[in-house]
Structure 1
Amino acid sequence: MPNAIVYAIPIFILLLLLELAWSGWRRRQTFALSDSLSSISLGLSGQVFNVFVKFLNLGIYLLAYEHLAFFDLSASVWWVWVIGLMGYDFCYYWHHRMGHEVNLMWASHVVHHSSEEFNYSTAMRQTSTGFLTNWMFYWPLALLGVPPSVFIVSGAVVLGYQFWIHTRHIGRLGWFDHCFASPSNHRVHHGQNEYCVDRNYGGVLMLWDHLFGSYATERPEHEEPIIYGIHGQLKTFDPVRSNLHKFQDLWHDFRLADTWTDRLRVWVSPPGWRPRAALERAPKPAHDISKFRIYRPQISPVTAAYCTLQMLLVMVFGLGFIGFSYAWPLAWKLLGAVWVWGSFWVLGRTLENGRGVRGWQLAWLASLAVPAFVAHQQWGLPLTWMVVPVLGVAAALLFLLRDSARRQLASEV
């Protein structure tokens, strides 16, 4: 059956556009085009990768439910749903908390926090490597006998709820902030200010943060504005590097460590811990938040229009891939995934004015034949239906690309 995320993403995009319009109307802009396009590309990249691994978490849950469940609970009983929702939220709290307190898990979760803005596009910025550890946290619900249907719906509720709290346009909400995850609480969670780090992990309820000492109240903006992003600035819109940079750092420290105890600790210690040998051989400067500057390479209005149109085109094909590749042969799945990931890599390079961008973009324009051909093969669409609009869009993109190159040359003269 088609992936349900195909129906959720357009809703998220609509809410994002509404927030963007509200930002303009209020004259308080909280969006930056490059950052937002990067966040959306990371979210879609993660969903594309999830096509190949999505059954891992559910598969482990089903095995535990079928063979290890202590109780036989029925999805037709209301209190089983309460247990499912509360239990999932509790497991999510510890999953989320460990994502901030264990190096290996932070290497995956850091993707979500790498945005230096805070808006609804940030909610879409998700990791592609979460499958490595996600399965560890939810199978205890299977031991209680929570039916798979309740588990799946509870997960969708807890994760879907969190979209609306990624905004700077909803202020403090009084008692609601104390009890539930809210925009105020989640702004704290995404801050790199000292009082914000490792706080407010709750997905829906703040109960667990109060119980386990991780709750913090947002301070007034005029006293201490929150600075978003991560210690050790990413400074790239490349989705591959965004997903792998912390793993690369850990591997580097693993190789520098001179004892096996330290080599193990590299992966399980809190973020920021490094082996003594790594500190000596490859020291890093201490984080100084006063020197933080948002990473925002300058691009021309023409390049911005080009990247926006490119994103819209990749989104159309990407959603088609996510929604219907379940019925494709593995070879077609791999081809589609490589094309989407490659497209977002080229987009990221363009947003940061990387070297050789014009050549990569020309190669990408030629690669539009791939989704056109896949759509023809898999859905039986006449080639003319695909080729004509694709060529039309490609011509518009090529015109913008040439105009952008001319403007770039003119600015350098």
Structure 2
Amino acid sequence: MNTQEVIITWATPVFFALIALELLVAKLRGRSVYHSTDAINSLGLGVISQIVAVFSKLLTLGIYAWCVQRFALFALPANSVWVWITALLCYDFFYYWLHRAGHEVNILWAAHVVHHQSEDYNLSTALRQTGSGVLLGWLFYLPMAIVGFPLEVFVVVALIDLLYQFWVHTELVGRLGWFDRVFCSPSNHRAHHAVNDKYLDRNYGGILIVWDRLFGTFVEEDDTDPPVYGTRAPLRSWNPLWANAEVYWATAKDAWHARHWSDKLRVWLKPPGWRPADVAERFPKPAFDIERERYLPALSRGLTIYSLVQFALLLGMAVQFLDLAKHLAAVELLGYAVFLVLSLTALGALTEGRRIGVGLELARLLATAAVPLLTGGWFGVPRLPAGTIGAGAAVLAVSAAVVLWLTASTTGQIGSDKAVSGRPSP
């Protein structure tokens, strides 16, 4: 197990312990900072991001290692404290520019938007990550390879920068005085996630907020203008595949409809929201309304509990997938990845309260039972005891019966996309 895997292994239970602590503190303070279906969607997107990362490491880390070997200007030692400190500062600097570009260049926003789609702001939002950021994000860190920072140093400082940003995604930590002036903090990052005019596209720093102060993108959180979270083009879906594809699809449609070839290119490179004049005229979109209804389809308590239990089981499978990634054959690993992504998509449709979600969930349960019944094993496990297969099939049969019972007893909710009015509790 390499250093990165060790850190992730230890960090994951800490993440969930802190989420539980945030829930407890919020309850004690009489605050509502979580909505179950939103949290399932955010955590599911985090799972998909990790699944994609298993297959993308060869591209991102392979290119970095290749550049270090061939173009490094210096042979920086991996056993030097100053190399590590400098590497972390450099990584955070380049992260600032990647993050800023992710808000100013539409094709980069198409990937980064996933992290901003939640209309809640809590620790589960921190784990809501893109599955397509790998396509272009690695370009911003190549200067570190050219300088000569070893691959193992780059990997660890990247992980440190990412892990640091987890704790700043909370509404329960207030102002921190001098700390807010130097580091990215919960207050600074709340402003970053807000869609209010005064906060829009500010505070990009990962660990240090001084980059924003240096380059003119800093804004302080204002108690008289509380942050409103989400995006200016709300996702309004719990479908994780659509969450990753929505901006790419909207941009592709605008490029297709644009009459001028220059606009077909510019729509990808301009800031998010920019549209060719002829396209905007023929295909207008509603104006942004900060008082819009938040997306929260009605879901019975029974279906909410069912969804949480099923998501916990899928999360356990995802952990197994990440462990298998070290030695499972590529074809079987890909099959498991597809199974998990489609399962999360089916669960998303169910939590949207749509009729098709019931059918997709039943199909998911059937497929989950079919794999061990037909093969005698599971992904990465060639042979399971007959008792285990029987018990698993029984659990899935009970799950199917529960779904049918719950949806039959909540006629009128299923098939409704009605959103709940108002904003999250302050």
Aligning the two structures, in what range does the TM-score lie when normalised by the shorter sequence? Answer: over 0.9
Deviation at 1:396, TM superposition (A): 3.8
1:73–1:146: 8 Å Cα contact kept in structure 2? yes
Alpha-carbon distance between aligned partners in 2 of 1:119 and 1:63, rounded to the nearest angstrom: 38
> Which amino acid letter does the alignment assign opposite residue 390 of structure 1?
G
Percent of residue pairs bearing the same amino acid type: 39
C-alpha distance after superposition, 1:196-255 (max 9, x if no partner)? 1111100000111011001110001xx212110000111000001000000001000101
Compared CA separation, residues 164 and 411, structure 1 to 2 (3 A): closer
Counterpart amino acid of residue 101 in structure 1: E
What's the offset of the Cα at 1:167?
A: 0.3
**How far apart in 1 are the matches of 2:264 and 2:384?**
56
Q: Which amino acid aligns with 2:340?
A: V
Amino acid corresponding to residue 249 of structure 2 in structure 1: Q
For the 8 Å contact 2:324–2:380, the answer to whether it is kept is: no
Asked if 1:253 is matched to 2:254, the reply is yes
| Aligned-pair CA distance for 1:358 | 2.2
SS in 2 for 1:289: coil
Give secondary structure in 1 for the equivalent of 2:325: helix
Q: 1:54 is paired with a residue of what secondary structure?
A: helix
Matched residues in 2 for 1:214 and 1:374: separation? 57
Confirm or deny: 8 A CA contact 1:368 1:390 kept in the other structure.
no
Distance in 2 between the 1:356 and 1:169 partners? 37
Q: CA deviation at 1:402?
A: 2.5
User: Residues 101, 371 of structure 1: CA spacing in aligned structure 2 closer, same or farther, 3 A cutoff?
Assistant: farther
Question: 2:393 maps to which residue?
Answer: 391
Question: In the alignment, which residue of structure 2 is the partner of 1:409?
Answer: 411
Q: Distance in 2 between matches of 1:410 and 1:208?
A: 51
Whether the 8 Å CA contact 2:350–2:356 is kept in 1: the answer is: no
Deviates most, 364-373 or 120-129 = 364-373
- Specify the alignment match of 1:144 in structure 2: 147
1:302-317 equivalences under 5 Å are 302-317=302-317
Q: Aligned partners of 2:376 and 2:201: how far apart in 1?
A: 44
Shift in Å, 1:285 = 2.2
Aligned residues: CA RMSD: 1.8
Instruction: State the shift of 1:375 in Å.
Output: 5.6
Moved more, 354-363 or 65-74: 354-363
TM-score (norm 2): 0.92
SS in 2 for 1:356: helix
Residues 87-102 of structure 1: pairs in structure 2 closer than 5 A: 87-102=90-105
2:169 is aligned with 1:134 = no
Assess, with a 3 A threshold, how the Cα gap between structure 1 residues 401 and 60 changes in structure 2: closer, same or farther. same
List structure 1 segments (4+ residues) > 6 angstroms apart after TM superposition: none
User: How do 1:5-404 residues align onto structure 2 when only pairs under 5 Å count?
Assistant: 5-220=8-223, 223-290=224-291, 292-369=292-369, 372=372, 376=378, 378-380=380-382, 382-384=384-386, 386-404=388-406
Q: Which letter does structure 2 place at the counterpart of 1:112?
A: H
The answer on whether the counterparts of 1:188 and 1:216 sit within 8 Å (CA) in structure 2 is yes
CA distances 1:166-212 after superposition (whole Å, capped 9, x unpaired): 00000000110010010000100000001111111000001110110
Q: Residue deviations 1:360-383, cap 9 Å, x none? A: 221111111366459646235523
**Any conservation in 1 of the 2:351–2:357 contact (CA below 8 Å)?**
no
3-state SS in 2 of match to 1:317: helix
**Residues in 2 aligned to 1:44 and 1:6: alpha-carbon distance in whole angstroms:** 14
Mapped partners of 2:412, 2:70: distance in 1? 69
**Richer in helix (by share):** 1
Query: Size of the alignment, in residue pairs?
Result: 409
Q: Aligned letter for 1:255?
A: W
- The alpha carbon displacement at 1:357 in A equals 2.3
Structure 1 stretch displaced more, 368-377 or 255-264: 368-377
Q: What code does the residue aligned with 2:271 have?
A: P
Q: In 2, distance between residues paired with 1:395 and 1:27?
A: 39
Q: 1:263 to 1:392 in 2, by over 3 A?
A: same
**Aligned-pair distance for 1:7?**
4.3
> What displacement does 1:145 show?
1.1
Partner amino acid, structure 2, of 1:85: L
Q: Equivalent residue for 2:423?
A: none
Q: 401-410 or 344-353, which moves further after superposition?
A: 401-410
Aligned-residue offset at 1:394: 1.6
Q: Contact between 1:6 and 1:319, CA under 8 Å: does it hold in 2? A: no
Q: Give CA-to-partner distance per residue, 1:314-335, whole Å, 9 cap, x none.
A: 1111111122123112221121
Call closer, same or farther: CA 1:374–1:189 in 2, change over 3 Å: farther
Q: Distance in 1 between matches of 2:348 and 2:376?
A: 24
2:166 is matched by which residue type in structure 1? F
Report the CA distance between 1:353 and its aligned residue: 1.0
Q: Spell out, residue by residue over 1:39-83, the C-alpha distance to the aligned partner (whole angstroms, 9 max, x if none).
A: 011000111122211221111111111111111111112111111
Superposition TM-score, scaled by structure 1 size? 0.95
Give the aligned residue type for 1:46: S
User: Structure 2 vs 1, CA of residues 368 and 256 (structure 1 numbering), >3 Å: closer, same or farther?
Assistant: same
AA aligned opposite 1:106:
W
